[in-house]
Chain A
């Protein structure tokens, strides 16, 4: 056991107190998710040309962010957890972007 002990996390306030999210907040999130599910189904039947996938993915991403922030409590977590979550999605984005930029810039059929 180290000499140093900080039971109330004064030195490192990042270890935040445990925040309890109320059922009311969960209810609002639940209704929001259901409403946006309806919107995304409705949007699928409207001809938006190349924007159909864009709208569908934007709505899905919004729903995912709401789930991550509230159902998964990330809004109330420490910076360590927030950075961990963000770095995961960021790394995934980098991997997709790099792979796709390689793919679209190949001289298909020319070698």
Chain B
């Protein structure tokens, strides 16, 4: 098509439709969008607006962490060192792998390979479930060590760490109580993250079912692409949770 002519001579809708025949007209192409590129951009824009609300939402939790870490630094150091770096690092790698397969899934939808798309969505789901499994192991360990804030929370090992074989600085009883603030934020932040993943895995089952029916094999990739944005955003939240909760209070030799 001669773009210069189209640009200088706006035409009626009839000729526009005729000129548009080189585009694939999909049943998903809504009539209120001029082109499928515009529809696609509108979908991406809308998804990002939603993710901005998520940035603010998780941002509030991160801000609470920043403030309380400032207030109760010693309690945060000791309780942070109770988390398992091997489990946290393994989970980070598992989540990155899940995100990698999600990205490949978007690619498979774009090049219209149905079998690969279904395979990659299943692999994304698998690694997402593996992440939650390890998270469950970690939560169970917190339960056993009485590190869940509330009536059964046990501060004695933070007041007298030597008796428990911990190489930590003993905390005064009032500061030891503040380890509950760390564990509260730990459960609030990782719990909200896990909740997003549970929702995401539910959506993945639905998308895999639809992909298997061939719904995303005709050039219509918006649901896959926008779910990919959601899944990667949840990955990014974990990329910050891991260093903040697990890593930054370690000292050499501990």
Contacts and interface: CB of A to CB of B under 8 A. Distances in A.
Given A6-B6, A7-B19, A41 B104 contact: no
B82 to A, nearest CB: 15
Interface string B58-78: 010001001100000000000
Nearest to B233: A72
Contact of B85 (A44, A46, A64): A44
B176 interface: no
B6 to A, nearest CB: 6
Contact of B110 (A16, A18, A33, A68): A18
Contacts of B7: 6, 10-11
Interface string A42-65: 011111000011001101100110
Range of interface residues on B (Cβ < 8 Å): 35 or more
B215 to A, nearest CB: 18
Given A8-B3, A23-B107, A40 B96 contact: no
A56 B243 contact: yes
Interface string B8-44: 0011110010011001000000010011011011001
A103 interface: yes
A77 B42 CA distance: 12
B229 A33 contact: no
Interface in B50-99: 51-52, 55-56, 59, 63, 66-67, 85, 89, 92-93, 96-97, 99
B127 to A, nearest CB: 12
A81 B44 contact: yes
Nearest to A80: B45
B252 interface: yes
Interface in A73-105: 73, 77-78, 80-81, 84-85, 87-89, 91-92, 95-96, 99-100, 103
Nearest to A27: B100
Given A45-B250, A71-B99, A7 B240 contact: no
Interface residues of A, number: 62
B232 interface: yes
Interface string A2-45: 01111111110001111011110011011001100100110111
Chain A binding surface SS class: helix
B163 interface: no
Q: Which of B16, B37, B111, B251 has the most CB of A within 10 A?
A: B37
Contact of A92 (B55, B97, B99, B250): B55
Given A6-B34, A44-B248, A85 B48 contact: yes
Contacts of B240: 57, 60, 64
B63 A99 contact: yes
B222 to A, nearest CB: 11
B3 A18 contact: no
A54 to B, nearest CB: 9
Interface of A: 1, 3-11, 15-18, 20-23, 26-27, 29-30, 33-34, 37, 40-41, 43-47, 52-53, 56-57, 59-60, 63-64, 67-68, 70-73, 77-78, 80-81, 84-85, 87-89, 91-92, 95-96, 99-100, 103
